């Protein structure tokens, strides 16, 4: 390229897989010594690689260093990092951009970094790296050809149809005539998505479904991360049930067979369409976000705040579960609002609040939601220690609520939620904390002594219980709007199909 330093001339050829110098390149360019499974993840020369990872096991960093070194060392290399949400898709970009900034070992190898309509890194050797959300069935991924694609948190895409579309983007030759790598990586924390389990075991030696010429799988646990102390790991374990330790820390597939809410019905209430609508509002291709739309996401726990603008004439109900803890632990406060003049009812506001040891953050979020949506029904848990909070909210904050009595009505609330979920009355976005708590919740284990987080479930149960008191004319209006919505969705799907056919 004419811009390479002596170090580049030495290290970049060594970084190629056949020369085994990946770890030397990561140390020089990023200051990172790869863990054994991060090294193995990079070195694999198999078209389908699954990286099943526990919390803090190094998944994101492993993807970042592997793809960066490929882009640096292979001219015209095309890479894509995608996910179910734009924030998750861009997480790797934030990490890599931090390495590039003010780094004389890397800056001269970068041609340009752009942020709109989605982050792109262009390299001096004509390699490129895109970071963008996939959308339902990978509707946002079109046009480009890639050598490698990483679908991050693929376990949250329960249908798995996006993988077929992404595979179609891995084709062709680079401009210099070399054949593209055509490698599809799926990196994720464990979920109960059937396609993920099937894909993982195809890459496991000795499994009866193994196809090791096409698939390889890696499982990384928190216990393999030498950069964490035993005390740090013990502190995480202290907040988790045994089942959560298996899933979140040991990267074992969950078994939700005895959960209160059927898995398939939870999936039917989980809407990629809502997620895509938020993406198009906050990350539009014209670079002009729509007002009133807001999403905040944690790299481990997923969406923490979700806010859609109120619709003139829309009718809403609100519920809150007070607490002073922090997510993802039990007693983390939650506020939700559902729009109920449509069917199914849309969760338009979700706030998994950091209590920081006080009730004030919950009250602020709850009052904000009431002022924004003006719900016709509103409720919070007003039993035991929450009774005083109910009075505090009423007297000091000017919040008027229906006090819900969990001691008396909890069974009725859970029953209302079961019926609502089974009948698909709710529709929510891909919110990892919400679906995770719903899948893990077991009614018989929900006691004060339990460590099982259930605050999101309880807030949804409050909404389902409040919805029983909706005026009948609202229900009738909702049925009418449901028909209109389905007609609109069918038109959208037809138009999308025609557009794909034209391409």
Evaluate whether residue 97 is within a structural domain: yes
Tell me, yes or no, whether 29 and 178 share the same domain.
Answer: yes
Evaluate whether residue 503 is within a structural domain: no
Tell me, yes or no, whether 212 and 237 share the same domain.
Answer: yes
Higher pLDDT, 488 or 14: 14
- CATH number at 129 reads 3.40.50.300
Domain that holds residue 430: 263-470
CA distance 241 to 245: 6
CA gyration radius, the chain: 24
Evaluate whether residue 71 is within a structural domain: yes
Pairing of strands 215-220, 294-298: unpaired
Evaluate whether residue 490 is within a structural domain: no
Q: What torsion, rounded to 10 degrees, do the Cα atoms 378, 294, 165, 182 define?
A: -130
Tell me, yes or no, whether 218 and 293 share the same domain.
Answer: no
Evaluate whether residue 489 is within a structural domain: no
Contact 336, 306 (CB under 8 A): no
Tell me, yes or no, whether 191 and 289 share the same domain.
Answer: no
Tell me, yes or no, whether 215 and 74 share the same domain.
Answer: yes
Segment 23-65, tens digit of pLDDT: 999 999 999 999 999 999 999 999 999 999 999 999 999 999 9
Pairing of strands 110-114, 377-381: unpaired
CA distance 392 to 400: 11
Evaluate whether residue 103 is within a structural domain: yes
Answer yes or no: is pLDDT of 499 > 50.
no
Widest Cα–Cα separation across the chain = 76
CA distance 179 to 248: 38
Beta carbons within 10 angstroms of residue 482's beta carbon: 13
Tell me, yes or no, whether 233 and 306 share the same domain.
Answer: no
Evaluate whether residue 502 is within a structural domain: no
pTM of the model: 0.81
Tell me, yes or no, whether 444 and 306 share the same domain.
Answer: yes
Tell me, yes or no, whether 172 and 279 share the same domain.
Answer: no
Segment 2-12, tens digit of pLDDT: 689 999 999 99
Tell me, yes or no, whether 177 and 140 share the same domain.
Answer: yes
Q: State percent of the chain over pLDDT 70.
A: 87
Q: How far is CA 367 from CA 44, 177, 312, 460, in A?
A: 52, 61, 20, 18
Segment 321-358, tens digit of pLDDT: 999 999 998 889 999 999 999 999 999 999 999 999 98
Domain boundary among 195, 216, 249: 249
Tell me, yes or no, whether 302 and 220 share the same domain.
Answer: no
- CATH number at 325 reads 3.30.420.240
> Sheet holding 78-83: strands in order across?
110-114, 120-123, 128-131, 78-83, 148-152, 183-188, 48-53, 215-220
Tell me, yes or no, whether 435 and 311 share the same domain.
Answer: yes
Evaluate whether residue 500 is within a structural domain: no
Provide the number of structural domains found in the chain. 2
């Amino acid at each position: 390229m004419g811009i390479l330093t002596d170090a580049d001339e030495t290290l970049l050829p060594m970084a190629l897989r056949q020369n085994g110098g990946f770890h030397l390149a990561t140390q020089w360019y990023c200051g990172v010594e790869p863990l054994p499974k991060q090294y193995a993840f990079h070195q694999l020369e198999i078209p389908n690689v699954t990286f099943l990872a526990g919390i803090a096991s190094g998944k994101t960093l492993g993807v970042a260093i592997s793809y960066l070194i490929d882009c640096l060392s292979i001219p015209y290399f095309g890479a894509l990092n995608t996910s179910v949400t734009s924030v998750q898709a861009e997480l790797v970009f934030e990490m890599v951009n931090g390495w590039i900034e003010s780094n004389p070992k890397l800056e001269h190898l970068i041609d340009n970094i752009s942020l709109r309509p989605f982050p792109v890194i262009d390299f001096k050797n004509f390699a490129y790296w895109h970071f963008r959300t996939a959308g339902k069935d990978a509707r946002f991924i079109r046009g480009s050809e890639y050598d490698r694609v990483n679908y991050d948190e693929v376990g949250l895409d329960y249908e798995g149809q996006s993988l077929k579309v992404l595979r179609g983007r891995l084709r062709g030759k680079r401009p210099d005539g070399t054949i593209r790598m055509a490698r599809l990586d799926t990196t994720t924390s464990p979920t109960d998505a059937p396609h993920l389990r099937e894909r993982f075991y195809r890459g496991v030696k000795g499994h009866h479904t193994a196809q090791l010429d096409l698939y390889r799988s890696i499982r990384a646990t928190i216990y393999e991360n030498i950069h964490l102390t035993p005390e740090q790991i013990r502190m995480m374990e202290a907040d988790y049930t045994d089942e959560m330790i298996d899933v979140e820390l040991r990267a074992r597939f969950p078994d939700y067979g005895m959960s209160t809410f059927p898995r398939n019905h939870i999936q039917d209430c989980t809407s990629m369409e809502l997620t895509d609508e938020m993406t198009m509002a906050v990350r539009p291709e014209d670079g002009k976000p729509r007002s009133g739309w807001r999403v905040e996401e944690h790299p481990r726990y997923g969406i923490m705040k979700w806010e859609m603008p109120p619709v003139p004439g829309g009718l809403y109900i609100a519920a809150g579960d007070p607490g002073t803890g922090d997510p993802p632990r039990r007693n983390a406060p939650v506020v939700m609002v559902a729009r109920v003049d449509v069917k199914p009812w849309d969760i338009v506001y979700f706030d998994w609040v950091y209590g920081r040891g006080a009730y004030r953050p919950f009250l602020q979020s709850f009052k904000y939601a009431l002022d924004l949506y003006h719900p016709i029904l509103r409720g919070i848990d007003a039993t035991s220690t929450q009774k005083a909070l109910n009075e505090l909210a009423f007297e000091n904050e000017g919040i008027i609520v229906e006090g819900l009595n969990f001691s008396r009505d909890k069974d009725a609330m859970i029953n209302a939620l079961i019926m609502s979920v089974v009948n698909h009355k709710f529709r929510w976005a891909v919110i990892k904390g919400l679906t995770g708590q719903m899948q893990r919740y077991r009614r018989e284990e929900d006691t004060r002594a339990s460590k099982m987080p259930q605050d999101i479930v309880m807030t949804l149960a409050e909404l389902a219980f409040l919805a029983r008191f909706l005026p009948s004319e609202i229900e009738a209006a909702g049925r009418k709007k449901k028909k209109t919505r389905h007609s609109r969705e069918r038109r959208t799907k037809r138009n999308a199909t025609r557009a794909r056919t034209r391409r």
